[in-house]
Amino acid sequence: MPKILKSGFLFLLLSFLLGCSTTREMHQQNSAVVISSLKQIEALIIKHYFMNQDFDTTWKAKFITAAEKINQTKGLNKQYQVIVDLIEEFNHSHLAYIPPQYSKKNYSQSLTSKKHTDPSINGFSLDFKLVEMDSKVYISEMDPNGPSYQRGLRNGSELLAVDDIEVDASLLKKGYAYMILQTKANSGALTLKIAEVDSKQIKKIALALPPVHKEQNRMGLAKITEMVHIEKREDRILYLAFNAFTFEQVGKIKQAIQSNRDAVGMIIDLRNNPGGMGMLACGIALEFCEKDYSLGTMSGPELNLNFPVLAQSDCYQGPLILLVNGFSFSTSEILARGMQVAKEALVVGTQTRGMALPSVFMKLSDGSIFQYPVADFKDSTGRLLEAQGVTPDFLVKYSLDDIKNGHDPQFNKAVELILQHL
């Protein structure tokens, strides 16, 4: 072999060997970083949430297997995906993991809304609602005089994306579609990707939402414009709806209840209400309480909190219906389940998801973000609310015709039950 070819061959061989060594070292370094995050997650779960009997040998084995899989997996993103898949196996609403490649600025911006510049405006209202049916989300109950209708949005359109966030199966599984919509709406402008009602044609509609001058409430990543709707119908049924358990909103609801004790029945609409301050559920429940009871107990390694409802001599004693759906979370579920068990109210609507726990977001050493619960919630019978949710006394689903025509069969059932009681 000529010297020049021999030298070239040796150079290529050396480069190859050095490249393999560098790649191997990089893989080992990446594996160490990802496994470090995995161990941090395991320690946080055991310390702050799972009792020894709950975090059993099966889950310990799963973490060991995950570490082995990380070592065997090539590519940093794929290694992090091992942790994502493991957390999904828990099937827990308040366990979530965001790898560092998604927890940077671009991810945060995708979940938060741009701020409006008018200092006199505190938020914007949605002039339509969302209905979930057969693992899809549809536009419903549009205001025919609202700007969204004028832009071409119609009842029955399937919602596919809000700005740059696709409404996919993972979002629906945890019920985040409505909260993302509310968050994005805070800027006053958003773009919806929809499938039209009959043609199923995919199109994007840019919306400019009407402003409201009401205080806003920050809940996690979502900044939600507070909305309260109070209406006393001609048949003397009082309808109450609100979208967050804050002092201001609950105060208005309590005042309306106290001012309308002559109502023949009351409907409290908890649909699309993501919750808020847990103890405020007790404040609403006591307006209907003739005898002491508890909505349930929140408990964990470092927390034990009872949700008492104390009897009131001047409480409302007429029929009460609570409306719930798959977007009723947290405090909404605590109130609905607690009053249902105590037989203080009937629950109408669709199954809730069981997302009623306090949780913490922790930034790990590699920049990834881990959300974990610090307690469980059990109703007064000892039944866990997590992942089980509230099963309505009367299960009432929407049909596609209901959605297209803006009908509300759940509300109609509530009215029917009150009139039957009379």
pLDDT at 250: 95
Neighbours of 134 (CB within 10 A): 8
Q: How confident is the model at residue 82 (pLDDT cuts 50, 70, 90)?
A: very high
Tokens linked to 419: 């009139």
Tokens linked to 231: 């209406």
| Lowest-pLDDT choice from 45-54, 251-260, 375-384 | 45-54
Half-sphere exposure at residue 34, Cβ-oriented, CA atoms within 13 angstroms: 29
* Nearest CA-CA partner of 29 in 66, 89, 76: 76
| Lowest-pLDDT choice from 99-113, 181-195, 282-296, 406-420 | 99-113
Quick check: 225 pLDDT over 80? no
Quick check: 114 pLDDT over 70? no
List the CATH number of the domain containing 332: 3.90.226.10
Query: Which residue range(s) make up the domain with 407?
Result: 226-357+376-421
| Lowest-pLDDT choice from 139-153, 221-235, 298-312 | 221-235
Residue at which a domain ends, from 217, 244, 259: 217
pLDDT at 218: 37
Per-residue pLDDT tens digits for 296-354: 999 877 778 999 999 999 999 999 999 999 989 889 999 999 999 999 999 999 999 88
Range 172-176, long-range pairs (CB < 8 A, 24+ positions):
172/132, 172/135, 172/136, 172/137, 174/93, 174/353, 174/355, 175/326, 175/327, 175/329, 175/353, 175/355
Q: Could you give the 3-state DSSP secondary structure of residue 376?
A: strand
Quick check: 175 pLDDT over 70? no
Q: Are residues 230 and 198 in the same domain?
A: no
Distance CA 275, CA 245 (A): 5
Distance CA 188, CA 124 (A): 6
Distance CA 278, CA 89 (A): 27
Q: Are residues 263 and 144 in the same domain?
A: no
Distance CA 311, CA 321 (A): 19
Q: Could you give the 3-state DSSP secondary structure of residue 167?
A: coil
Q: Are residues 175 and 302 in the same domain?
A: no
408 contacts 402 by C-beta, under 8 angstroms = yes
Q: Is residue 1 part of a domain?
A: no
206 contacts 226 by C-beta, under 8 angstroms = no
| Lowest-pLDDT choice from 60-69, 359-368, 412-421 | 359-368
Q: Are residues 125 and 250 in the same domain?
A: no
Residue type, 274: P
Per-residue pLDDT tens digits for 89-110: 877 777 888 888 765 444 344 4
**8 vs 210: which has the higher pLDDT:** 210
Q: Are residues 232 and 174 in the same domain?
A: no
Q: Is residue 362 part of a domain?
A: no
Tokens linked to 107: 């991810």
* Nearest CA-CA partner of 356 in 250, 268, 274: 274
Q: Are residues 343 and 262 in the same domain?
A: yes
Residue at which a domain ends, from 150, 184, 217: 217
Distance CA 82, CA 91 (A): 15
Half-sphere exposure at residue 282, Cβ-oriented, CA atoms within 13 angstroms: 16
**356 vs 419: which has the higher pLDDT:** 419
Q: Are residues 57 and 130 in the same domain?
A: no
List the CATH number of the domain containing 169: 2.30.42.10
Q: Are residues 352 and 302 in the same domain?
A: yes
Distance CA 342, CA 308 (A): 12
Q: Is residue 112 part of a domain?
A: no
Q: Is residue 111 part of a domain?
A: no
| Lowest-pLDDT choice from 140-154, 213-227, 281-295 | 213-227
Residue at which a domain ends, from 200, 217, 234: 217
Quick check: 252 pLDDT over 50? yes
Distance CA 359, CA 374 (A): 6
Q: Is residue 107 part of a domain?
A: no
Q: Is residue 368 part of a domain?
A: no
Buried-state track 385-422, b at ≥16 Cβ within 10 A, e below 16: bbebbbebeeebebebebbbebbbebbebbbebbeeee
Q: Is residue 248 part of a domain?
A: yes
Query: In the predicted model, what is the mean pLDDT of the chain?
Result: 82
Residues β-bridged to residue 364: none
pLDDT at 379: 96
pLDDT at 220: 36
Q: Are residues 83 and 212 in the same domain?
A: no
Q: Is residue 123 part of a domain?
A: yes
Number of structural domains found in the chain = 3
Q: Are residues 260 and 151 in the same domain?
A: no
Q: Are residues 178 and 151 in the same domain?
A: yes
Q: Are residues 76 and 130 in the same domain?
A: no
Per-residue pLDDT tens digits for 125-136: 678 888 888 888
